[in-house]
Amino acid sequence: MEKLQVYFDFACPYCWRAHGLLERILPEYPHIVPEWHPCEAHPRPERYGKHSDLCARVFLWAQATGAIPDGLAEKLFTLCLRSRTDTESPAELAKALAAFFPDVAVRNLLVGSAYAQEVADNNTAVWDTIEADAVPTYVWGGRILIAAENVGVTEGMLRAFFSR
């Protein structure tokens, strides 16, 4: 199995679209296994819409358990991009995710700093190490695919990336 590193932001509409495309075409490439790296396109303290670091921390926590619940990523994208839920509030985010996890578990996770360093590390990896200028960004087989700013990636771009 070959790992595909996927850097994405739950508050990025281009990442949401690309996530759906990737999930749809990945079954055609059974040798590729995604390794999800949620990050922030506009990390704190920068202000640019909703921050998604708490959503990223919940996702990393779920990933660390070895089983990301079906629909979790879609829910986190929806909360950041289409909902009035305050995704910067641990209590509100926990309540919004009650269908996936006991809200007390999410609240306890978010009140502390669990997985905050991992989000910061993902930010450093995509913006400083890879030097991407947009997300989503993909790293696979020594190659990098960086989304076009304000465009994202297309299915054709992903297929061409996997075909080389």
Q: What residue ranges do the domains of the chain occupy? A: 2-163
- Residue 140 forms beta bridges with which residues? 143
Question: How many C-beta atoms lie closer than 10 Å to residue 60's C-beta?
Answer: 21
Angle at 84 between CA 134 and CA 119, to 5 degrees: 40
The tens place of each residue's pLDDT in the chain, 164 residues long, gives: 999 999 999 999 999 999 999 999 999 999 999 999 999 988 766 677 678 999 999 999 999 988 899 999 999 999 999 999 999 999 999 999 999 998 788 888 898 899 999 999 999 999 999 999 999 999 999 999 999 988 999 999 999 999 97
Residue 110 burial class via C-beta count within 10 angstroms: exposed 0-12, middle 13-18, buried 19 and up: buried
Q: Is the CATH code 3.40.30.10 the one for domain 2-163?
A: yes
Task: Give the sheet arrangement for strand 32-38, strand by strand.
Answer: 32-38, 2-8, 137-140, 143-146
The tens digit of pLDDT for each residue in 36-49 reads: 999 998 876 667 76
Cβ contacts of residue 111 below 8 Å, gap of 6+? Answer: 90
